[in-house]
Structure formats: structure tokens, C-alpha cells
Chain A
Amino acid sequence: MNREILLEVNDLKTYFYTVDGVVPAVDGVSFTISKGETLGIVGESGSGKSVTARSIMRLIPNPPGKIVSGSIKFKDEELLTKKDSEMRMIRGSKIGMIFQDPMTSLNPLFTVGDQIIEALCIHQNIDKKEAKEKAIEALRMVGIPSPEKRINNYPHQMSGGMRQRVMIAMALVCSPDLLIADEPTTALDVTIQAQILDLIKDMKNMLNMSVMIITHDLGVVADIADSVIVMYAGKMMEYGRAFDMFSNPLHPYTKGLLDSIPTLSMEGDRLKSIEGSLPNVTLDYKGCRFADRCSERCEKCFVEEPPLIKVNDSYVRCHKYLNRR
């Protein structure tokens, strides 16, 4: 399958300059998203998933954050060299974004209708009446019942799932080519999670867009993603097709993640976990970032950082696969 490439991220590095030193939150991440493809990015808290997404949108607060190097090409246009005003034209109209917590992502002082109309009016030159009709249409599209009434609701009059639907409607009202979903289901309960994921899938097919979904829930990835990136401490640990990763995980970290998913058959056992936590990464960090917690580590892992190695169709950052080529 050789589909047209929509987004190409190359060696992206986003560092945060804090009082305690430089933190490489995203350290050399490269991937592509084709048209109509869904890319999942998984990793635990602090692994740099959200920073990657916000770097693409150029929403990194500066200071302290800064995109140090790399390139982000969207439809063959470099985003990192764009002026702020040009970037604004892309945000919302070409790339839509939804956030983790629908409870705080809507302005509490305006009705949801006003906020969707606002999103429309930034990018399209239409009159209020037309915008209102489009807003009602957008609410209907994301499955909100009686949208012509709901349009006059304030965010606090809606449930979390409803608000996330409104967020999706706002992000999609200008039919973007790419939707970035930053943990869209984390703050919702399980039944609503499934509904929202289904909605994102439906919308993706209907609008023929690409989706980049960030999550720490492998179930979400299995459900929705075509390809997956596993991130750890700012580095890509594994990158490949979702099916391959679930059937044949390469990196010990990925294996650990998959093993940590509780199953019903393990009744009575303790939940499995990966011991330890993320290392405090600094610029002069040596060796594999996962080495401390890795079950298959060797001495080399503490000295030298492994490169990304191609194994079949996937990429993996582990010394284990270096000799097998």
C-alpha cells in the first residue's frame, strides 16, 4: 500500500529548558501518516506523547519549551518555519485537535453553539445564520440528540461524554485533513470511551481524514490504529503496524506493556507491571533509557544507546536485534 503521505515528522526534538536543566521531552522522533491512516502513540505518562502532538500544532509554550531541531512536513509544507499567522490558518482548518479533559476544554461562559460558530468563523467567511445551521449539523453529526436545542446549552449543562462530542464537532467543523486526539478517552468512563472511539472511527471514514491518537491504553490502539509508535522517555522504542505489534511485539518494553493488560483468566493473581518508573533523562544520558527496568538487558545497554533497527516491517530500538539482521 503506497498511499499519499500527509504528515512527515523527521527527527523532531523538543526540549524544555527548566531550572533543573534541559529536559529532552521529545528526542528524535520520526514517523509518517498517510492519508486515511490512523496512527496510535502509546507510552506512559511523561513519555513525550502529548509534547509530540503539541509540537506538530506548534503549541509548545515557549519558554520553557522549544522545538530544537527536526522537520514537520504537512502536505509537503514545512510547519516549523511557518509564521504564526500562517500557522493559525492551519490550526483548526487543516489540523484539528481534541484534548484529554472535556470538562475543562470548553469555555464555561459561552454556549456550545457559540463556540462551534466561533470555530467556523475563524476559518470561513460565512454569515451567522449559515454558521448556526452548520453548527447544528455538526452537533447532529457527532450524535448529540436534538441539536437545535442543545446548541443553546452551556458546557456545565452537559455530561463529559457530550462535551467530548462537542469538542470533536468543534475540531471537525472545518473538515480538517488530520485530527490529533490527545488522550480523548482518558477522562471518560468505559462505555462512553467505546462510543467516542466509534465516533472518531466513523468521522474518519466519513471525512476521509487521517487520525493521530495519543493514549496510554493499548486497548484503544488495538481498536482504532493502523500503525503504532511506542514511546518511552522521549524516544521511539518501537514503530510498526498495529497488527504486527500485537501479534509479535519486538521491544521488551512493548512486551511488558502487553503483559500488563489484565485478563479475566488470571483471576486471583496480582496484576503484572513493569517495575520501576521513567528515568530522569538529561541531555548527556547514556545508554538505553529503558535499561533500568528491562528484563532482557545486557551490559551494553547501559553504555550505548541502541539505534532504531529495522526488523521485518517494523522498527525497534534495542540491542537485541542488532546482530540478527
Chain B
Amino acid sequence: MAESISALKNGEVEIEYKKSSQIKEIWRRLKRNRTAVVGLFIISFIAIIALLAPVISPYNPYEQNLNQRLLGIGARGHILGTDEYGRDLLSRLIYGARLSLIVGFCSVAFGLVFGVLLGLLSGYYKRLDGIIMRIIDILLAFPGVLLALAIVSILGTGIVNVIIAVGIWSIPTIARVVRGTVLYIKEMDYVTAAKALGESDFMILFREILPNCISSIVVYSTMRLATAILSAATLSFLGLGAQPPVAEWGAMASTGRNFIFQAPHLTLLPGFAIILIVYGFNSLGDGLRDALDPNLKNV
């Protein structure tokens, strides 16, 4: 534990406890996990690029230059070449990072709001459990991206609709994860003790149970971010998400496909970017799980 023996006062050992000890402890454990550090590095790298996109990108990602179409990697003035309209690929990739992160975070946030609420309710109230879980089962019965595809085809194409679709698709699994944790936490003695102190159901749910679910929610959301970004890119690749000329990795890979023999980098580089971000979130999630799992604490 983060105790530091500060001074000997009157022969007594004074032990100081720091309030932030938990966060430090998690950080310390995360640092020891190499994949987690790599993941964290990748995510920070992409996040910084996304934040500084207007500053660091060499060109406007939408500026067409038809004299310089389909340049290869290493071309003069365009390190990563240009696409079929002569737009700078590096700039488009940089702006694509923005979009991927926004779509990922927004859709997971959307899924969290509803998923956590449903999970809490169905885990805590046995009466609601049956109804909520059957609805969740129905949503889970749709294979993979198919549900998101169906939602997008109802709502229409576009980034906002992709966020909603991927968000809705995230609800059932998040609800399942939260419900499982609630079922475990609500049997803990401190929940009974809280009841014996006269706490209301609302307080027990949001003060005793929810805070103790946070670690599994954080871990799962991190992993879910990867899935959300991947499925948003998939939808764009299929032409249902971001519409041209928006610089989105999935959409870029999709249009680049037409030139796969003349300029394979148009498909490969956005694909590689997607792999990188998905790998980053997944390994960060793995590391967080190890760092936050109380059962592994003294390992």
C-alpha cells in the first residue's frame, strides 16, 4: 500500500495515508504490463495526432489536385502519396484519426448510458430482470454488424447515424457485463450493511453498487471502443457510414479498393491505421483488466 513512514514523533511511527493511493496503485500495476504500455502509447499517439490535426497535417485533406493523382509512397511533397483526386493521403489519415476516435467514444458513451442503466436495473431488481434480459437476448441474437447494418439502413447513412447504430449495438453486451457484476456486488456484506443503515434503493444502486462496478465497466468499455471503431469503419467501407469526401479510414479503404493494383497503399494504409487503433485499445483494455482486478492485487 502507499504508506510512507514520514517521521518518528515521540517514538511513535507516524503513518501517512494518501487519498490518491488507489489511482497511483493502478498506474503502478499498469506500468508493469508491457502490452498495456504499448497500447497506451499507441492510443496517446493517435489521440495527440487527432487533436493537433490542423497543425500537423501538411495539406487540407479535401484539397484536390488533379495533376498529382495516385502518387506513390515517398513522392515529393506527399510522403504517403495521393489518392485518386490528388488529395494528400497523410493529411486524410490524420483527419481520419479524429473521426475514428469521435465515433468510437460517442457510440460507446451512448451504449454506456443505456447499457449501464439497464444492467443496474436488471441486476438489482429480480422482477425487471426477466423482461430486460429477454429484450437483450433478442438484440444479441442478431449476428455481429448485422444489427448495426439494419439500424443504419433504417436511419439512413451518415456519421451520426453510425454512432447511434453502433451505440445501440453496444447496449446489450454492456448491459450483460454490468448485470453480472451487479449480481455479484449486491450480495456483498456492505450492501446489506447499507440497507441496515436505512439507505434507499436509489442510494444503494448509485453509491454502493455502481462505484464497485466501475472497474469492470472501464475495462469493458476500453475493449468495446476497439469493436466500435472497427464496426464504424466496416459500415463506412460498405458505404453506409461516412460518405465521400469525408476522410474516414473505412471509407478511404473502400474507395481505394478500385485502385488496388495501381496504388495499393490507398487501401493498405487506412487498413493499417484501423489495425493499429484496434490493437491499441484491446491491449490497453487487457492491461487495465489486470491492473483493476482486485483478485490479482498482490501478484
Contact = CB atoms under 8 A, between A and B. Distances in A.
Interface in A132-164: 149, 152-154, 156-157
Given A106-B190, A156-B1, A157-B1, A92 B197 contact: yes
A97 B196 contact: yes
Contacts of A57: 195-196
A171 B196 CA distance: 9
B7 to A, nearest CB: 14
Contact of B197 (A85, A104, A111, A119): A119
Nearest to B199: A122
A101 B192 CA distance: 12
B17 A104 contact: no
A8 interface: no
Contacts of B21: 154
Contact of A167 (B126, B193, B208): B193
A109 B211 contact: yes
Contacts of B190: 104-108
Given A107-B212, A108-B212, A109-B211, A101 B189 contact: yes
B34 to A, nearest CB: 27
Candidate in A100, A101, A156 with the most chain B CB atoms within 10 angstroms: A156
A63 to B, nearest CB: 7
Contacts of A108: 190, 212, 294
Contacts of A96: 196-197
B198 A123 contact: yes
Contacts of B189: 99-101, 104-105
Contacts of A85: 200
Candidate in B3, B126, B197 with the most chain A CB atoms within 10 angstroms: B197
B128 interface: no
Nearest to B188: A104
B1 A122 contact: no
Nearest to A167: B193
A14 interface: no
Interface string A83-100: 001001111110011011
B280 to A, nearest CB: 28
A88 B17 contact: no
B207 interface: yes
Interface in A249-300: none
A57 B196 CA distance: 7
A118 interface: yes
B26 interface: no
Nearest to A104: B189
Contact of B193 (A63, A88, A106, A122): A106
Nearest to B193: A105
Given A118-B207, A157-B1, A99 B193 contact: yes
B19 interface: yes
Contacts of A196: none
Nearest to A180: B196
B105 to A, nearest CB: 25
Contacts of A63: 126
B246 interface: no
B194 interface: yes
A164 to B, nearest CB: 12
25 contacts: A88-B199, A91-B195, A91-B196, A92-B196, A92-B199, A96-B196, A97-B196, A100-B189, A104-B190, A105-B193, A107-B207, A107-B212, A109-B212, A110-B211, A111-B19, A119-B197, A123-B198, A152-B19, A153-B17, A156-B1, A157-B3, A157-B17, A167-B193, A170-B193, A171-B196
The 7 A-B residue pairs with the shortest CB-CB distance in the complex, in nearest-first order: A92-B198, A92-B197, A91-B198, A97-B196, A104-B189, A105-B189, A88-B198
Interface of A: 57, 59, 63, 85, 88-93, 96-97, 99-101, 104-111, 118-119, 122-123, 149, 152-154, 156-157, 167, 170-171
Given A92-B197, A111-B19, A118-B197, 14 more contacts: A91-B197, A92-B199, A97-B193, A99-B193, A99-B196, A104-B190, A105-B190, A105-B192, A107-B207, A107-B211, A122-B199, A123-B198, A149-B17, A153-B17
